[in-house]
Amino acid sequence: MPMRQCDFGPEKAVRPCTVDDFRFYRTIAILAIVAVFLATGADARRRSDDSDGDCGSLHEKCCRWRTCDDGLVCKGTYGNRKCVQNSDKQSEDSEDSKSKKSNDCPSGQYRNRRWRCQDCDANCDSAPGSCVDLQGCKACKPGYKLDAWRRCAQDCQNGLDPVTGQCVPDGQCPSGKYKHGTKDSWSCEKCDRNCAPGKCLDFKNCVKCEDGYGAKVEGDCRMVCSRDGSEEIVDGVCACKAGFFRNDEGNCECPANHVKIQGECTSCGEGMIVKRNRFA
């Protein structure tokens, strides 16, 4: 069989074809076939779109590149596409219309950030614009003011009592505090945290502590009343042990002619006196 010859033009000599030459010519042939196929299909589509009368209007076939008049969309299967109303937009318009109609909450309510109706604060003013959507109450009734959470709290000159929830009356301290100082000059100070309920009194602090604690004369609660063992806890109060008495300074000591030995008051005996806490 004679060998195929490849002609490379007048400037190059004719030589036998190689494998790379065959691959090159095959690629050129395939690209030419694909180009012809695409051109034929596009021309067929244009003829289908542009033939037989008007296009782009309602219920008419779509124009070239599937375009329609304003407000219409091209829908349908291949070869049978027509311009119709945009049903999605119609649905959105309908929903918007319904939403606008049902946008208002009943009286005394507002729409929160989740767009749900929620009750206005009970002490919010009833005037128009006092309770608005996405914000809640903007103005409270007389005697109330907005707090940081946009709730209406009582506008108290002396503050709000944390226990009763009411305004602290003039001349008094809120729950958990007592008057410290004198009747002419005093301030509200915190009661001892271990004080029994209702036992924190003005100008005295705590007079009785919870179980396991004893109230000192100063009004604070202690687990150990004294280091020298002269006091003990009796019913929430630090009391002097038997044989001791409380002096003017508030400390427990032994009576005259007695000495403390191992935490007990012991009499010196007849003819003896106490000298530097020792018998003499």
- Of residues 271 and 262, the one with the higher pLDDT is 262
pLDDT, tens digit, for every residue of 2-29?
Answer: 555 565 555 555 566 776 777 887 888 8
Q: What is the sign, positive or negative, of the torsion defined by CA atoms of 262, 264, 268, 274?
A: positive
pLDDT at 275 exceeding the cut of 50: yes
Which pTM was predicted?
Answer: 0.43
Mean pLDDT, the chain, as a whole number? 82
Q: How confident is the model at residue 261 (pLDDT cuts 50, 70, 90)?
A: confident
Residue ranges of domains in the chain: 5-46+54-87, 191-253
What per-residue confidence (pLDDT) applies to 150?
A: 84
Q: What is Dmax (Cα atoms) for the chain?
A: 156
Least Cα distance to 137 among 154, 155, 119, 157 occurs for 119
pLDDT, tens digit, for every residue of 123-152?
Answer: 999 998 899 998 999 999 999 999 888 899
pLDDT, tens digit, for every residue of 54-98?
Answer: 788 888 888 877 888 888 889 888 778 889 988 766 555 555 555
pLDDT at 101 exceeding the cut of 50: no
Least Cα distance to 255 among 239, 244, 241 occurs for 244
pLDDT, tens digit, for every residue of 207-217?
Answer: 999 999 999 98
What per-residue confidence (pLDDT) applies to 259?
A: 84
Q: Do the bridges between strand 214-215 and strand 109-111 make them parallel or antiparallel, or are there none, so unpaired?
A: unpaired
Question: Residue range 32-38: average pLDDT?
Answer: 84
Q: How far apart are CA 89 and CA 100, in angstroms?
A: 16
Least Cα distance to 70 among 54, 86, 94 occurs for 86
What DSSP string runs through the chain? -PPPEE---TTS--EE--HHHHHHHHHHHHHHHHHHHHHHHHHHHHHHHHSSS--SSTTSBPBGGGB-STTEEEESSTT--EEEE-HHHHHHHHHHHHHHHT-PPPTTEEE-TTS-EEEPPTTB--STTSEETTTEESSBPTTEEE-TTS-EEE--TT-B-TTT-SBPPTT---TTEEEEE-SSSEEEEEPPTTBPTT-EETTTEESSB-TT-EE-TTS-EESSS-TTS-EEEETTEEEEPTT-EE-TTS-EE--TTEEEETTEEEE--TT--EETTEE-
CA atoms within 13 A on the CB side of 89: 7
Q: How far apart are CA 188 and CA 168, in angstroms?
A: 12
Extract the tokens encoding 207: 């007079």
pLDDT, tens digit, for every residue of 163-203?
Answer: 888 899 999 999 999 999 998 999 999 999 999 999 999 99
**Which amino acid is residue 34, in one-letter code?**
V
**Which amino acid is residue 212, in one-letter code?**
G
Q: How confident is the model at residue 240 (pLDDT cuts 50, 70, 90)?
A: very high
Q: How confident is the model at residue 103 (pLDDT cuts 50, 70, 90)?
A: low
Least Cα distance to 124 among 108, 139, 113 occurs for 139
What per-residue confidence (pLDDT) applies to 18?
A: 72
